[in-house]
Structure 1
Amino acid sequence: MHYYYNKKVVNMTEHIYQLDSYLKEYDSIIVSIKDNSIILDKTIFHPRAGGLESDTGFLEVNGRRYKVLNVLQEKDSEDVLHQLDTVDGLNPGDRVHLALDWERRYKMMKLHTASHIIAAIIYNDYNALITGGNITPEYAYDDYSLESSDRSIFDKVVQKANEVVKKNIELKIYWLDREEAMKIPGIVKLAARMPPNVKKLRIVEIPGVDIQADGGPHVKNTGEIGEIVITKIENKGKNRKRMYYTLK
């Protein structure tokens, strides 16, 4: 949840999942091939970025199926590398059919939106920022700039977060000019990290709860999340307290 993209960049991979996180399949064209990876003109695969592990799945070309093992974003670029089990038989210009491992994606979408709710509450109640984190399909953790590792603090935060979840709030996703977006209090909740110098920022808003610049996939409604459950609290040092959590 902690990175930012332009809505569209010419001649680079278009991130279709930013427009619709619920697309499970899509057609695209191979732009180039690098070692065991391909770059597509458009993709529904979310790369490893912003604390989220990458999507996986497969693609089909001329009746042959290829496994998508990992997805990465090239440094200083909008291009997305799709690492395959093999690139044998593939060529630039080939039209491919993409298919996500939807169960994996949907689990991470729910945890991702849950992480935004938690971050908003801990920011508003304790003025704490996120200093690190990771989201997998099964669980997530975030590090917060808190002095205390008192379990009761986290219990209260998650209790509030679950109350938000039950309100079935519809999320809003839209783009704002950078200058306008940066005027919004709390638009960036990551310590010591600001969005890159792009003209437009993708905004994810949970009305009445949170608003953040963010590039990743989310659920449409907080009610899809389920119940947030703390699994472990760790003291990682001064002003760095880690909470592990999952959903049920």
Structure 2
Amino acid sequence: MVEEIYLKDSYIREFSANIVKVEGNKVFLDRTAFYPGGGGLENDIGTFEQNEKKVKVIEVKRENGDIAHVIDGEISLGPIKGIIDWERRYAMMKLHTASHVMAAIAYSKFNALVTGGHISPEYAKDDFNVDSKEKLLEIVREANEILSKGIEVKVYFLSREEAMKIPGIVKLAERMPPNIETWRIVEIPGIDIQADGGPHIKNTAEAGKIEVIKIENRGKDKKRIYYKLN
């Protein structure tokens, strides 16, 4: 099993690892800080360095229980240094944490769930089962108040049995609870607690302020909000 470094520390930008397998342009490591995407969050990209040679990592994805790093070039078995495209990663970390705050407000204030979403470095979009644009704007206003408070974001691990006792631990509509024995929990104390496997910032103040790009109707009692941070 590959060690997923980002699960414990999302701020690691460079790491050492060993290449255990190469299949065409796909590289498999014993440990990685590259996030393979998931939950609507895009994957990382970056660079491998080996013997003063640099190779671009252009895609990272889960494959048969492992993590495949798709490269543009050639590389050999043995040790490498991995370097994350930090500007891209950090932009998505901030949006990811902001999206958790919005989901928490939607759930507690309107009993609404996220029915879909996507986070890229430039902006995010989320679908909520709410019935008015005004409710979404209220969610954004309250989320900005919370982000500005500078609340520490905690990451820890619980057994599935313990995690399932927490109300609202899964806030995505139609998302089944993870069928694994140990869950990674992301908590913004007093605001939100969710089972989540993606990178997050350490403090809500790092996110900045949510700015609405546009809001769309996506059917009965369903709205999509596009937003960025500034």
- Normalising to structure 2: TM-score of the pair? 0.97
C-alpha distance in 2 between matches for 1:97 and 1:112: 26
RMSD: 1.0
Aligned residue number for residue 70 of structure 2: 83
Q: 225-234 vs 150-159, which deviates more?
A: 150-159
Classify the secondary structure of the residue corresponding to 1:194.
coil
| Stretches of structure 2 lacking an aligned partner (at least 5 in a row) | none
Aligned residue number for residue 21 of structure 2: 32
C-alpha distance in 1 between matches for 2:137 and 2:179: 37
Are 1:17 and 2:1 an aligned pair? no
Are 1:99 and 2:83 an aligned pair? yes
C-alpha distance in 2 between matches for 1:34 and 1:189: 37
- The number of residues matched between the two structures is 230
Larger strand proportion, structure 1 or 2?
A: 2
Per the TM alignment, residue 240 of structure 1 is displaced from its structure 2 partner at its CA by 2.6
Are 1:57 and 2:41 an aligned pair? no
Classify the secondary structure of the residue corresponding to 2:95.
helix
Classify the secondary structure of the residue corresponding to 1:223.
helix
Letter in 2 for 1:58: T
Aligned residue number for residue 209 of structure 2: 227
Percentage identity across aligned positions?
54
Question: More relative contact order in 1 or in 2 (CA 8 Å, sep 6+)?
Answer: 1
Per the TM alignment, residue 91 of structure 1 is displaced from its structure 2 partner at its CA by 2.9
Aligned residue number for residue 205 of structure 1: 187
Aligned residue number for residue 115 of structure 1: 99
Per the TM alignment, residue 74 of structure 1 is displaced from its structure 2 partner at its CA by 1.3
Per the TM alignment, residue 33 of structure 1 is displaced from its structure 2 partner at its CA by 1.1
C-alpha distance in 2 between matches for 1:70 and 1:231: 27
Per the TM alignment, residue 225 of structure 1 is displaced from its structure 2 partner at its CA by 0.5
- Normalising to structure 1: TM-score of the pair? 0.90
Spell out structure 1 runs of 4+ moving beyond 3 A: none
Classify the secondary structure of the residue corresponding to 2:143.
helix
| Stretches of structure 1 lacking an aligned partner (at least 5 in a row) | 1-11
Are 1:74 and 2:58 an aligned pair? no
Per the TM alignment, residue 233 of structure 1 is displaced from its structure 2 partner at its CA by 0.6
Q: Which residue of 203, 227, 230 maps to 1:245?
A: 227
Aligned residue number for residue 216 of structure 1: 198
Aligned residue number for residue 116 of structure 2: 132
C-alpha distance in 1 between matches for 2:178 and 2:166: 16
Letter in 2 for 1:219: I
Are 1:196 and 2:169 an aligned pair? no
